[in-house]
Structure 1
Amino acid sequence: MLLSEKLFTTREKALEMPNVVYHYCSMTSFLAILETSSLRLSNITKSNDPTEITNVIPVLKDVTKNVLTDYNNLISTPYQFRDDTISKLVDRFFEDLSKNFYAICFSEKRDLLSQWDRYDDNGKGVALGFNTRHFVKLQAETRSQYIFGKIIYDQNMLANSIEFFLRNEIDGKWKSCDDIHNVNLIENVINNLVCTILQFSVLFKDGFFSEEAEWRLVYNPLGRIRRLGYASAYHDRLMETNQYRLEQSGFIRNTYQFLVKGSSISSYVDLSFEPIRDALIQEIIIGPKSTLQPNDKDLQMFLALHGYRLSKLAIEGKLILSKSDRPFR
């Protein structure tokens, strides 16, 4: 079994796909999302925690080093790996060029106090409920450049998956190889491992945040192309993807845009959902500290002018509008 299959199989067995996931945001972001009918996928390397992608590296290095120590004993001394070999190989394959992911975050928890506190302008914004069926369709497209998945907070599961992959790969290649001193064999195994882990690194997060029950929609411009040997190849690939694209699922990917973030420039991608607007957004929850109420006439006029119809029941094509009842200081 491939490592990617094992990771997804393990997750899907443990987790069920929710029908709705919630994006907690400020009132300004809420207006922008509905006015433009688009979701902003931000460059995750420029996020508040840019180590999110790389926090799998220590686990990757430790497990790989432990497993390869066993195989090192089968190799005669002149060919054995030095202690720093694994770290150097991982660092070389885990290239900065390949870490350009664009993501938007959701939670499967409806009306969650910690989400209001961290991501919602201190409880004064809104939570938008999105139908997950359309994100699944986006991921399922042929040669899809998207991943929609639940964040994995279990580092032990990651470590076990890496060890499983390594031992199966090395055993299989070693048995079919006449020269057990072939260093390239090990390098190829580690390269394949790192490329696979890199592809799914955006779905791992420190267990401290497990309460968030986070899901992510991720756009990866490189698709399943992993290692690019030089910077020009990476930028050529970005130029190929810098175009409007109507996805089969109904989303429209816009060209790259840029904004100033602190003293830096950050790229982002807007994903328009105009063709599936009525079916995608199912619920709006007003934050517990917001002075806005569901019966506010300006709010209802804003929703009506942008084509949203309200309902008290969960009916596709109509919105449920409510106010959070969470106590918030």
Structure 2
Amino acid sequence: MAIPNKVYHYCGVEAFLSILKSGRLWVSDAKKTNDRQESEWFKTLAFRHLEAQSRNDEDLKAIFDKLDFHFEVIQGISDYFVCCFSEDRDSVPQWAAYAERGAGFAIGFDVNALRMAVGAPLFDSTYSVPPGEQGSAEWSFASVFYGDPNIEDDKIKHLRMLIDIEPLFTDKDASTVAWEYIDRVCAFCKHPDFWTEREWRIVHNATLSRQSDRVNESAPEKRWRRGPYGLTPYFETPDIRQCIRDVVIGPANVDREARDYVSQFLESVGVKAEVDISKSPYR
């Protein structure tokens, strides 16, 4: 996967003020996004392919049945919290959906500085932590992929490879291997209808965080806010103001003083960043 130098967080005015004043990003419950299938889509795709392939494979059928039982009875998809970004710095769909119809801002973050500040390792193209990558097991950073239900893409092929190979070299059975991979990738897979977002995201696995609470007194505190889809839990990141490289003023938020006002505000909160104005004609 090609890694951009910067990613952009689109937000309204109140969120912009909060982020710059506090230095914190809100990592919110993935079940409270605008995608009704958030966190479930890759499981749906994986189950569809595994079920079809297991019709003529008794060994795979046994693994699939055990996997289904694991998700339904033992442990479902982990409790994921996300903060979303886009590769695009001036995107009409992003202005419309996430930045008060163009009246907000796009905050540009240096990718490496951001993930290091949060302690989120960068996943590779298989959504695994590459050798030597540092960070917390509870945090991760990667691009979103948009799973097409009609295509057996590389992630499904990688799942099949893990089912066949990993149990030979570990003490895990195939269904556990499959559950772990499906669960991890679920945090980064969305329906293809959202492909224009070109999304990257910080992900916090709150299930792992709860499991480690007994030995990790620095685990983040769950907070609550009013979201567009009801009461929404979230976590805060560490201070990320030094990761900000530029701010783009939305196309519906432009007047003669806009650039000067934003520059003055950034200076008041100690952030050195370029200020630009959207080139989009959207309003």
Deviation at 1:64, TM superposition (A): 1.9
Alpha-carbon distance change, 272 to 143 in structure 1, aligned in 2, over 3 angstroms: closer
| Structural mapping, 1:257-268, within 5 Å | 257-261=223-227, 264-268=230-234
1:205 counterpart letter in structure 2: K
Q: Distance in 1 between matches of 2:135 and 2:17?
A: 33
CA contact (8 A) 1:243 1:255 kept: no
1:104 maps to 2:83: yes
CA RMSD of aligned residues (A): 3.1
Give the Cα–Cα distance (whole angstroms) in 1 for the partners of residues 229 and 195 of structure 2.
31
| Cα drift, residue 262 of structure 1 | 6.8
Who is 1:272 aligned against? 238
Match in the other structure for 1:302: 265
Give 1:322's match in structure 2, choosing from 276, 280, 283. 276
- Give me the whole-angstrom Cα distance separating, in 2, the residues matched to 1:117 and 1:241: 43
1:284 aligns with one of 206, 226, 247 = 247
Alignment of 1:7-22 (within 5 A): 15-22=1-8
Q: Deviations over 1:158-181 (max 9, x none)?
A: 3222223233357x49xxxxxxxx
C-alpha separation in 2, matches of 1:24 and 1:142: 25
Equivalent AA in structure 2 for residue 257 of structure 1: R
> Could you say if the C-alpha distance between residues 209 and 194 of structure 1 is closer, same or farther in structure 2, counting changes exceeding 3 Å?
same
Q: Are 2:216 and 1:237 aligned?
A: no
- Partner letter of residue 89 of structure 1? F
Q: Which deviations, in whole Å up to 9, do the C-alpha atoms of 1:272-301 show, x marking residues without a partner?
A: 316xx33x0000000001145565554333
Contact 2:266–2:273 under 8 Å retained in 1: no
The match for 2:111 is 132
Q: TM-score, normalised by structure 1?
A: 0.70
C-alpha deviation, 1:56, in angstroms: 1.5
What is the TM-score when the length of structure 2 is the normalising length?
0.80
Secondary structure at the aligned position of 2:190 is classed as: coil
1: CA distance, partners of 2:229 / 2:84: 24
Q: Distance in 2 between matches of 1:215 and 1:85?
A: 33
Matches within 5 A, 1:242-257: 243-244=217-218, 254-257=220-223
Superposed CA deviations along residues 2-47 of structure 1, whole A, max 9, x for unmatched, are xxxxxxxxxxxxx211110000100111011001111110011222
Note if contact 1:44-1:50 (Cα within 8 Å) is conserved in structure 2.
no
CA offsets 1:35-87 (integer angstroms, 9 cap, x no match):
11111100112223242111122222122223433431x79xxxx859x9367
Q: Provide the rounded CA distance (Å) in 1 between the counterparts of 2:53 and 2:175.
A: 11
Structure 2 SS opposite 1:273: coil
Mapped partners of 2:57, 2:8: distance in 1: 47
Alignment of 1:147 with 2:127, yes or no, is: no
Alignment equivalent of 2:35, drawn from 46, 49, 60: 49
> Which structure's relative contact order is higher, taking Cα pairs within 8 Å and 6+ residues apart?
2
Moved more, 16-25 or 50-59: 50-59
Unpaired segments of 5 or more residues in structure 1?
A: 1-14, 174-184, 224-233, 246-253, 309-317
Tell me, in whole angstroms, the C-alpha distance in 2 between the residues paired with 1:121 and 1:154.
28
Amino acid at match of 2:234: Y
3-state SS in 1 of match to 2:25: strand
- Which one is further off, 19-28 or 55-64? 55-64
Structure whose residues are more often helix by fraction: 1
Return the alpha-carbon distance in structure 1 between the equivalents of residues 62 and 211 of structure 2. Answer: 35
Report the count of equivalent residues.
Answer: 264
Residue 167 in 1 paired to residue 164 in 2? yes
Bigger Rg, which one: 1
Distance 1:238 1:101, change over 3 A: farther
Amino acid at match of 1:302: F
Q: Cα 1:212–1:264, aligned 2, differ >3 Å: closer, same or farther? A: closer
2:183 to 198, 222, 228: 198
